[in-house]
Structure 1
Amino acid sequence: MSPLLSPVSPELDEAHFALLAHYAKHLGRAPKAIRFAINAGERRSRQKGHGMEMLELRAYQASDDLRHIDWRVTARTGQAHTRLYAQENDHQRLLLVDLSNHAYFGTRHTFISTRLIQLAGIIAWRSKQQGDTLSYRLSYGEKEYASNKQGMLPNFLHQLQDASLLENRAQNMKKNSVWAHSQLTAKAHNKDVIILTDKQSWSDVEESALMQLARHNSVHWIQIIDSNAYNLPVGQYQMADQNGIQRVSISKKTMEHAKTAFVEQNTLMRKKLATIGIRHQLFDLTESPEKIARYLLSQGALR
């Protein structure tokens, strides 16, 4: 079985993060149309001027660059019109990784925490390989790290390696989500934001921070679940959590109740995210981080 899909241990080592660089390099490329910024008034490139391909012609808006006014169409119609050009993004990316104690769980292949950490590693490597600007905030157990500096990849990979350790499952979880109470997220504008978390609920303050983030950025929310956890045969199991090894009795009734509760909570979360304007995608633990990274590529969150 692929070492990417099913690593030897959920605790990842340096060799595994080196392997992630290989997969990041061979993801392919995003469709050209997606890799360009086309939103009205959006100026995401550090380069002056515009690209060579005109995307569309539309009525002038107050936020438009006056240099892009089409004077011929303006004179003919009597209304100011602007040319929108395909403009290659500077691809400034913000990666937010937030792992709860419950993420350190899995019935097959690996843990949810491990899969999210693998994906974070691929995103980090891909950003470096493509010359993109990457900022991040990482929260797990009692630890939290953040950086918006160049050359931070070695430190970030080391922190991800530490985040994969099972001892984090026994730590007290931070109360606030990774996207709240942070200057890094509060000041984020015109970025591709990728949120990797197993959390499904948040406070009103955290929701306000999410709305602010989505208002000024393109936000992608990636959720990974272990669907097999709701299809276990009836019986007794030994499961580990932050309180140690516990014996759990599974009946058909308790399994149905757990599945119903999850579906209801997840449906509510998806509706909230859609209302805010955040693109949400759910993947199963049986799907590789390479496949999830390719989805992000197809959505323009990676290039």
Structure 2
Amino acid sequence: MSQLLSPESPELDDKHFALLGHYAKQLGRAPKAIRFATTSGERRSHKKGHGMEMLELRAYQASDDLRHIDWRVTARTGQAHTRLYAQENDHQRLLLLDLSSSAYFGTRHSFISTRFIQLAGLIAWRSKQQGDTLSYRLCYGSENHASNKVGTLPILLSQLKDASNLKHRMNDTSDSSIWSNTPVTRKSHSKDVIILTDKQSWNDGDEAELMQLAKHNSVHWIQIIDSNVYNLPAGQYQMADSQGIKQVNISKQGLNEARLDFLTQNKKLHEKLTTLGIRHQTFDITESPEKLARFLLSQGALR
């Protein structure tokens, strides 16, 4: 059995993250038609080194290349402006990982949280190996980490390692959504945004920000579930959540009702995301993290 499909522990160590780096190299490449095709909305895509077509002109940001300041517009307006080129926006990526306490659970192979973290690790390694720019925000337990700086792979991997620690299921993340009230998403433009979360809902204010994010970026929403939970034999189980370990009585009727409720909520989630132009894909915990990464590769979210 794959070392990634069923790790020795849901709490991942440095050795496992090094292994993720090896697997990231073996993913292959995205189909040429996907990597270099023009997509919908404002997103533009060109083969690397194939010209420098200007994509937009906007107010200067601290991370912008000084060589691309438009001095004529700057002089006329009195405010620094930067020219952004389509080539520069091809491979900018934003990773958003948001884990609730419920994600630290699984009936087969590993925990849902572990699978999300493995996929995030593959995305981080792959971005580094391909020379892509990766910004990120991680929310788990009471922790909240974000960065839009270059060269932060060791820091990101260390934070992902911490996210796998089961102590974080004792503290749930905040009610606000991961894309809200954060600099890494507020001015995000022409990026591949990958959202990894087990959450299914958000408030009206967060929806407005999600709509704005989807308007200016290509957004991919990955959901991981454990379908086997609805096939458990009726009986008494020990379950752990943010309130600690407790005894839970499970009946066949209760499982059927829970399954129906999940399917109803998930259908609403899919329809809402589709309406916003967001690509939503659900995977089971039995599917390997390499498969999930290759799916993102096929969608052009990775290269």
Task: Return the TM-score normalized by structure 1.
Answer: 0.85
**Post-superposition offset of 1:90:** 3.2
Q: Is the contact made by 1:44 and 1:190 (CA closer than 8 Å) also made in structure 2? A: no
Amino acid paired to 1:286: T
Structure 2 matches for 1:179-190, cutoff 5 A? 179-190=179-190
| C-alpha contact (below 8 Å) 2:38/2:44 kept by paired residues | no
Task: Let me know the Cα RMSD of the aligned residues.
Answer: 2.0
Q: Please give the alpha-carbon distance, in whole angstroms, between the structure 2 residues aligned to 1:294 and 1:258.
A: 31
Q: How many Å separate the matches in 2 of 1:37 and 1:298?
A: 12
- Partner deviation per Cα, 1:250-295 (whole Å, 9 max, x = no partner): 1111010100110111111001000000000000000000000000
Matches within 5 A, 1:152-171: 152-171=152-171
Unaligned runs of 5+ in 2: 57-85
- Superposed CA offset, 1:176-225 (max 9, x none): 11111112101000000000000000000111111000000000000000
SS of 1:33's partner is helix
8 Å contact from structure 1 (residues 95, 136) kept in 2: yes
Tell me the residue number matched to 1:300: 300
Aligned amino acid, residue 124 of structure 1: A
Match of 1:266 in 2: 266
Which deviates the most, 288-297 or 230-239? 230-239
Instruction: Tell me, in whole angstroms, the C-alpha distance in 2 between the residues paired with 1:168 and 1:88.
Output: 37
| Aligned equivalent of 1:49 | 51
Distance in 1, matches of 2:275 and 2:293, equals 24
Cα distance, 1:174 vs. partner? 1.2
1:235 aligns with 2:235: yes
CA gap 1:17/1:246 in 2 versus in 1, 3 angstroms: same
Distance in 2 (alpha carbons) for counterparts of 1:180 and 1:157: 23
Contact 1:180 1:209 in 2 (8 A): yes
Task: State whether residues 7 and 110 of structure 2, in contact with CA within 8 Å, keep that contact through their aligned partners in structure 1.
Answer: yes
Conservation of the 8 A alpha-carbon contact between 2:38 and 2:45: no
Residue 175 of structure 1 deviates from its aligned partner by: 1.7
For the 8 Å contact 2:141–2:169, the answer to whether it is kept is yes
Q: Which runs of 4+ in 1 moved over 2 A?
A: 39-51, 86-90
Does 2:219 align with 1:219? yes
Q: Which residue of 1 aligns with 2:141?
A: 141
* 1:227-258 CA-partner distances (Å, limit 9, x unpaired): 00111011111111112211111111101010
* Rg comparison, structure with higher value: 1
89 and 29 in structure 1: CA distance in 2 versus 1, 3 angstrom threshold: farther
- Which residue number corresponds to residue 193 of structure 1? 193
Question: How many angstroms does 1:37 deviate by?
Answer: 4.4
Show structure 1 runs of 5+ residues with no match.
52-62, 65-85
Distance of 2:126 and 2:241 partners within structure 1:
33
**AA of the residue aligned to 1:151:** G
Aligned to 2:250: 250
C-alpha distance in 1, partners of 2:301/2:108?
A: 28
Percent identical among aligned pairs is: 67
Rate the CA distance shift 1:41–1:147 in 2: closer, same or farther, 3 A.
closer
Contact between 1:37 and 1:87, CA under 8 Å: does it hold in 2? Answer: no
For 2:192 and 2:172, the matched residues in 1 are separated by 30
Flag the 1:41–1:184 CA change in 2: closer, same or farther, 3 A. Answer: closer
User: Do the aligned partners of residues 273 and 42 (structure 1) sit closer, same or farther apart at CA in structure 2, a change above 3 Å counting?
Assistant: closer
